[in-house]
Structures are given as C-alpha cells and as structure tokens.
Amino acid sequence: LLALLPCLSAVVPLGRRAAQAEAVIRATRPGLPIHIAPHPSPTIVCTHPSVGERIVAALREAVRAVAQAGQPSGLAERPRASG
C-alpha cells in the first residue's frame, strides 16, 4: 500500500492494532514521520479525557510534519475557541 502513496508525508495510526504496523512502515519508508495515537472510540474518549487530547496532539504533529515536507495537507488549523 505504501508503494501506491509516494507523496505520503506522515502517518497517524489510530489504536493499538494500527500501531502494530509501525515496524513495517519504518522498514518500508524510513524517515516517514509516524505519530501514533489512541483509537478514537467514543467509549475510550469519553472514559479517559486525556485520550482526546493525545489524538489531537498526534494529528497536529502530523500536520506540522506535512507542512515541513512541503506537501499540502488539505487540513487548515482551526482557531482555538477562547474561554
């Protein structure tokens, strides 16, 4: 699959099962930023508030990695709500 995505600039595996692919990704595409985050299951996110924060942090890191690679991410940083 990685061979079909030559412009891939970052990977965000969500959850333990997805994170198991880290070694394969690193072997196939050394230097490709990998930002592992918990699975966004409502059960997990609602019972552990820090999980949502960890997911957002991993996604932000991935966006920064894409920006540093000079690839358009298609994602724009949203302004933070004041309060």
pLDDT tens-digit profile of 31-58? 999 999 999 999 888 888 899 999 999 9
Q: Report DSSP state, residue 34.
A: B
pLDDT, position 80: 52
Question: Which helix (H) or strand (E) is 19 found in, with range?
Answer: helix 16-19
Six token digits for residue 4: 């079909």
- In angstroms, the CA 13 to CA 37 distance is 6
Backbone φ and ψ of 76, nearest 5°? -110, 140
Handedness of CA 55, 58, 64, 66 (dihedral sign): negative
User: pTM score, two decimals?
Assistant: 0.76
